Amino acid sequence: MDKNLIRKTVLRQRRALSALEKSQAESVMLESLLNWEVFKNAGVIHIFISKPDEPDTRPIIEHCWSSRKKIAVPVVLPDTFDLFHSEIKSFDDLVSGMHGTQEPSPERRIKINPESFDLVIVPGVAFDRQGGRLGHGKGYYDRFLELTSAFRLGLTFDCQLLETVPTELHDVPMNAILSESGIVETNA
């Protein structure tokens, strides 16, 4: 299957979710995550700041702060395909970054080394239950995930779960996928 066609189709389905459907799915996903042993035991978590049509990560981040977990978020470095990883202590520290993502302002960035992460919560366009992930095609996360031994959790809505997604050798598989249907651990 053509990756660009999959991206268009799945993103259209994700954008078609009603506010109620999205909210209900996110509530179930949050409950599943909070009861999951891997999450409970993780002290340093890397997570993305969600865009409006992605699963909302703010409640997860707020829970982590209240549980005294350290949170890091990605920052896209200009003119590269690499990510900088910054601790975040408040949503007030965020500004609009590249590709329309929210990220810590330059003066608020606190570098965290990828080796220190216990859990990385990963965005994606599409996933499969074998751990396959289709991103936006720039490879930011695949390059980053090569640098950490953290548990890799794909965060997605059911409409983004496919039977299989096309992967290549450089694609780093997820150890588990979280959707409103629960957490599926893979063999990756």
CATH code, 79: 3.40.50.10420
Please tell me the predicted confidence (pLDDT) of residue 80: 83
What is the CB neighbour count within 10 angstroms for residue 41? 10
Q: Pairing relation of β-strands 151-155 and 133-134?
A: unpaired
In angstroms, the CA 186 to CA 124 distance is 16
Please tell me the predicted confidence (pLDDT) of residue 72: 97
CB of 138 closer than 8 Å to CB of 81: yes
Count of structural domains, the chain: 1
Under the phi-then-psi rule, with left for phi > 0, alpha for psi from -120 to 50, and beta for the rest, what region is 182? left
Please tell me the predicted confidence (pLDDT) of residue 98: 74
How many angstroms separate the first and last alpha carbons of the chain? 22
Please tell me the predicted confidence (pLDDT) of residue 133: 96
Q: What is the mean pLDDT of each run of 10 residues along the chain (188 residues)?
A: 90 96 97 97 97 96 97 90 92 86 92 97 96 88 93 98 91 96 90
Please tell me the predicted confidence (pLDDT) of residue 161: 96
> Domain containing 165: what range?
3-185
In angstroms, the CA 48 to CA 140 distance is 12
